Amino acid sequence: MHKNQESIVITGMGIVSPLGMNIDSFWDSLESGISSRTITKIEDKFGKEYSFWTHKINDWDQQSLLGKRGLQYLQPSTQYLLGASILALDNAGLPMEELESEDLGVVIGSNFSGMYMTWEYDYTAQTKGPKYVSPMQAPNTLVNSPASHLALKIKSKASNTTISSGQCAGLDAIGYGLKLLQKNQAKYVLVGGTEEINESIAWYYKKSGLVTEELDQNMGRPYDETSEGVVPGEGAAVLVMERYSDAIQRNASILAEVSSWSSAFSKMSVSERGTGLDKAMKKALKKSGNTPGDVKLILSGANGLRTLDSSEEVSIYNMFSENSVPVSSIKSVLGELSGANGVFQMAAAIGVLSRNKLPVLHLNETNHWETSKGDCILLTEQDLFGSSSAVVVKSV
């Protein structure tokens, strides 16, 4: 953060995940390594059945949060986002009816939100004819559909932005929200990420080779040399971000400070992939006024795909080899959440800062971690196509 810029802080968070909607239960699961992984079977319109490991949400009570009206026209990713946003605003002590529309911005990371309905539209139009497509589902064909529904729900007018930068989208959404507040373009920004699992997503993961044909128990294990693929996850996480002075003025509870964000790009070759992450981490630390020696924890984007995990290992080692810094990933418990990754990582980081316990890998014992004011955690993500992002978050 530039010395002349005011601190941007997080004052609320909400989660809808396979681990439930209770924040403390979410943190408990990360600390204990209790996973929601299960085998999901999905059959597409051509009769092809896919069986693969997932972290899928089962039986959550949408109506209690969202009401019944219009619920049938909202895709799961939109429902997850609306639910998490309501919980985040409540956690921040910001009643929706008291907020000014011009003060409130929305920034969402998502990559696949419109994929299923686009597929459904095209299939119906080609097999039955254009007159058979549903006009009520037309808005759901767009990736920005969840953010648009959220903006309508909370009457947000300051900003409505969807970021689809692959696995970096969640961290990039945090960075975008950070800039909005630094430029005084909003008073409060809801920064979120949302994804869902459906037959089109199953097809994508299968065809891209991110999951294997065999139901290997070792899939989705970050930094495990025997892991050959990812385990897809779904859900939404939302943060309420605002300027420090506004938070103090309304006597809000401050969960953490978002100190900086940066992104970089590299070639997709295995030998050069890590250079982008090197640049992103260095730039993020420089912007926050920190050095590698100040980092107390790295919450990485490792997901069990060796191509990405190995390059991230090298980048982290090159930068932090002189410092003993613990490294962890939440994806062994939550899975690969694509556009929502970074926001869930931030939610996990807040848990570390408040509870002094680290997320564990592969059911290892919980690691205790002592927190002091100003301690910083580095969040990292890499995408398959060469982009990398990093965020520095600090205790307050």
CA geometry: angle at 232 spanning 380 and 143, to 5°? 80
Structure confidence at residue 363 (pLDDT): 44
Strands 188-195 and 104-109: parallel
For residue 217 the two structure tokens come to: 């128990």
> Cα(311)–Cα(313) distance, rounded to whole angstroms?
5
DSSP 251-283: TPPP-EEEEEEEEEE--SSTTTTHHHHHHHHHH
Distance CA 160, CA 151 (A): 7
CATH code 3.40.47.10 region(s) in the chain: 8-257, 258-394
* Those residues with Cβ within 8 angstroms of residue 183's Cβ, 6 or more apart along the chain or in another chain: none
Where the chain has pLDDT below 50, the residues are: 363-364
> What is the C-alpha separation between 350 and 271, in angstroms, rounded?
34
| Integer Cα distance of 7 and 353 in angstroms | 17
* Multiple choice CATH, 8-257, 3.40.50.1220, 3.40.47.10, 3.10.580.10, 3.20.20.70: 3.40.47.10
Q: What is 121-145 written as a DSSP string?
A: HHHHHHHT-GGGS-GGGGGGGSTTH
Render pLDDT for 84-105 as a digit per residue (tens, 0 to 9): 999 999 999 999 999 999 999 9
- Give the C-alpha separation, 376 to 355, whole Å: 15
Q: Write out the two tokens for 63.
A: 């109506």
- Please tell me the predicted confidence (pLDDT) of residue 108: 99
CA dihedral 187, 27, 340, 330 (to 10 degrees): 140
Distances (CA, A) of 4 to 182, 287, 393, 394: 10, 12, 18, 18
The model's pTM is 0.94
pLDDT at 169: 98
Classify domain 258-394 at the CATH topology level. Peroxisomal Thiolase; Chain A, domain 1 (3.40.47)
| Nearest in space to 253 (alpha carbons), one of 342, 142, 350 | 350
